[in-house]
Chains A and B, each alone.
Chain A
Amino acid sequence: MGWNSFIWFAIPAFICWCLGAFFAWKGKKAQVYGFTLLGIAVFFYFILGMWISLERPPLRTMGETRLWYSFFMPVAGIIVYSRWRYKWILSFSTMMALVFICVNLFKPEIHSKTLMPALQSPWFAPHVIVYIFSYALLGAAAVMALFILIRKEKITSKEMNLTDNLVYVGTTFLTFGMLFGALWAKEAWGHYWAWDPKETWAAVTWMAYMLYIHYRKADSKDMQTAAWIILAAFICLQMCWWGINYLPSAKGISIHSYN
């Protein structure tokens, strides 16, 4: 299975997620779970097929990480839905998934089969999957932050609670991704932390979310500042994920440049 057949899985999965999102507005729980999970299963079947035909986990190129992002958006969406019952969350996660599906359809990257020896490690899959999952959750938190900044009415504590929890769970996975990376780097490169540009930006991202968590724990009533911290942190995250590929300070230096 390759990128040529991607569209035949992406469209049915997307339709399922749309139906799930639609029934969330109608308040029909059974259909919400049924369609969303079916879409997730269809999408995962494609990832699995890619995995088998590439003979390695599809986690190396930017296109492949976007594939996981589109997969984890509805996963994160359905988890949030089952916990807090937000009607809109599945519409949002479906839209986000669609964006990444479209990027992969219209601007696919070079998809090569080779995987260099440094990436052949049992740490590879957990390191990247955990990171992408945290990106999905922190993406949702960033949307909540925008919502807080744009909305005229007073922000309820329920909404602030959701934002906090998205950041907590997202940061947990971010911490896992970073520390798994450190443990792996020790096995592959001989040192767990070398201030490589990608590592520097991973530290920046992590500290930015730590700033948010501490700011909120300090019982700050200022929701606007909190929302701005989330947005700034999310920009740092983008920098870490793909921004450094365009950054003069990281060009040709980062040992993380694989694509």
Chain B
Amino acid sequence: MENKHMWNKPWKSAEGFIIGGGLIAVGILLQLAIGPIKWSIFSWPINIIILLVLLSTIGIMYCLRAKVYVFEWMMHIQAAIPSIAYALGLTIIMGLTVQTERGGIPWLSQMLTFWPFVLIYTWMALIAGSVTLKRIMHFRVREIPFILNHLGLFMAMVCATLGNADMQKLQMTAKTDKPEWRALDKKGDTVDLDFTIALHNFTIDEYPPQLLLADHMEERVLEEGEHAGWKIKVKKKIDDAALIHDEDGIRYEQWNSSGATTAMLIMAVKDDKTRVGWVSCGSYAFPAKTLPLDERYSVIMPERAPKRYASEISVHTEDGKNVSGVVEVNKPMKINGWKIYQYSYDKKMGRWSTTSIFELVKDPWLPAVYCGIFLMLAGALCLMLFMAPKPIKED
């Protein structure tokens, strides 16, 4: 760094690095003085006020740029570089430290409430916002990719941050045919909703059962396809079976009711040894059953992995709307600004669960964030299509 030129106009990136360092110092002082940022106080209408203040600040910066040099400089790429570098550095620290609600490394384990982190990102947002405004005021067609990229990032980042406190995330446990309108928030308090959800049916489709060998000597389960010399043949397979004890020992029979398990009658052959017996993955009603082959190996059937789980529900709202549909993972249902997600089920009951757990999310700022994301997508496409390679000249 050439100190003799520092703070002489025009400013370069070096001044930006000093300002960034200053922001971090101020952030640390704030952290010491008033503690971590409480994002919950940013709920409506505080967040919209802050947004308006932020936008007016950018407007004022633009208007005063001829008089106040730092504003002029902030609309220059030399100011952007240090702000990205600082944000990058702090985010790397965040990625290297365990992030927890409390405890861990002081300050760094709660990076999102750490003042220096927030100040640096705010500074970056101010720069992105002010350059966007400048380019919009001096609009030319070839600035469109630039505006899309910077406006998109500004909108997505600012609205996601400010809107976070307005986001509601609730959990509802619904039982078959018992309409439910109460849900629990993060703290465990009950929230009454303006709609009821009636769960009609909960279903789980599972992947086909697997047979694997367990090695008792090495205490591990062999990979699919490893047989340790045993040839295994399935003689009988029952998807819904019940375990029956009688004088001949145990066997499995077809049983179409809650608690049924999957069972297979198998024959395993190695050299002159032959083993025949039942193997089952078990359910809440029946224990799992393995088939020992010798002192070292047994055949096991791991619990069947769920392929799809879905809840057939109907929703009635206070204002008289009736909607029916199926909610499953990756396919939420929308109602009155809420999204209903399939979250979980009664794991103990497995595929016979009559309980479905939903997550209900309301995020009023989502459209603004999505708008930012789509602008960024369009901007990224422009970056690729219209990247203007500088004229090729050999130097």
Contacts and interface: CB of A to CB of B under 8 A. Distances in A.
B383 A172 contact: yes
Contact of A195 (B92, B112, B381, B393): B112
Nearest to B373: A179
Interface in B161-186: 167, 169
Contacts of A118: 329-330
Given A168-B384, A172-B384, A204-B88, A114 B305 contact: yes
B305 A120 contact: no
Contacts of B331: 187
Contacts of A113: 207
Interface string A189-210: 1111101010011011001101
A200 B97 CA distance: 11
B390 interface: yes
B49 to A, nearest CB: 24
A114 B167 CA distance: 34
A218 B308 contact: no
A190 B98 CA distance: 23
B84 interface: yes
Interface of A is mostly: helix
B94 interface: yes
Given A116-B306, A120-B330, A187-B332, A154 B395 contact: yes
Interface string A152-181: 001011100100110011011001100100
A239 B95 contact: yes
A190 B370 CA distance: 14
Contacts of B376: 175, 179
A75 B373 CA distance: 28
A193 B160 contact: yes
Interface residues of A, number: 56
A168 B99 contact: no
Contacts of A192: 160, 369, 373
A116 B95 contact: no
Interface string B278-309: 00000000000000000000000000011111
Contact of B306 (A117, A157, A191, A247): A117
Contacts of B167: 191
Most chain A beta-carbon neighbours within 10 Å: one of B85, B112, B307, B384: B384
Contacts of B363: 191
B46 to A, nearest CB: 21
B394 A157 contact: yes
B211 interface: no
A188 B394 contact: no
Nearest to B309: A117
A178 B332 CA distance: 21
B361 A214 contact: no
Given A161-B390, A188-B329, A197 B95 contact: yes
Contacts of A193: 160
B98 A253 contact: yes
B329 to A, nearest CB: 4
On chain B, which size bracket covers the interface? Answer: 35 or more
A5 interface: no
Nearest to B387: A168
A190 B394 contact: no
Contacts of B98: 248-249, 253
B224 interface: yes
A97 B393 CA distance: 32
Contacts of B395: 154, 156-157
A172 B97 contact: no
B307 to A, nearest CB: 7
B81 A161 contact: no
A214 B112 contact: no
Contacts of B85: 211
Contact of B384 (A156, A169, A201): A169
Nearest to B359: A190
B264 to A, nearest CB: 18
Contact of A117 (B92, B97, B328): B328
A53 B243 CA distance: 34
A223 B366 CA distance: 41
A217 interface: yes
Given A116-B305, A157-B394, A204-B88, A195 B99 contact: yes
B77 A175 contact: no
Contacts of A247: 95-96
Contact of B95 (A175, A190, A201): A201
A210 B84 contact: yes
A86 interface: no
Contacts of A248: 98
A158 B88 contact: no
Contacts of A249: 95-99
B77 A191 contact: no
A158 B260 CA distance: 69
B107 to A, nearest CB: 15
Given A200-B95, A208-B88, A161 B384 contact: no
Nearest to B81: A214
B94 A172 contact: no
Given A117-B307, A120-B308, A191-B361, A204 B373 contact: no
3 closest cross-chain pairs (CB), A and B: A117-B329, A175-B380, A172-B384
Interface of B: 13, 77-78, 80-81, 84-85, 87-88, 91-92, 94-99, 112, 160, 167, 169, 207, 223-224, 305-309, 328-332, 339, 341, 359, 361, 363, 366, 369-370, 373, 376-377, 380-381, 383-384, 387, 389-390, 392-395
Given A190-B169, A218-B78, 18 more contacts: A110-B224, A112-B224, A114-B307, A117-B307, A117-B308, A118-B329, A120-B307, A156-B395, A157-B390, A161-B389, A168-B387, A175-B380, A187-B331, A188-B330, A207-B91, A214-B77, A239-B95, A249-B99
5 contacts: A120-B330, A157-B395, A217-B77, A247-B96, A249-B95
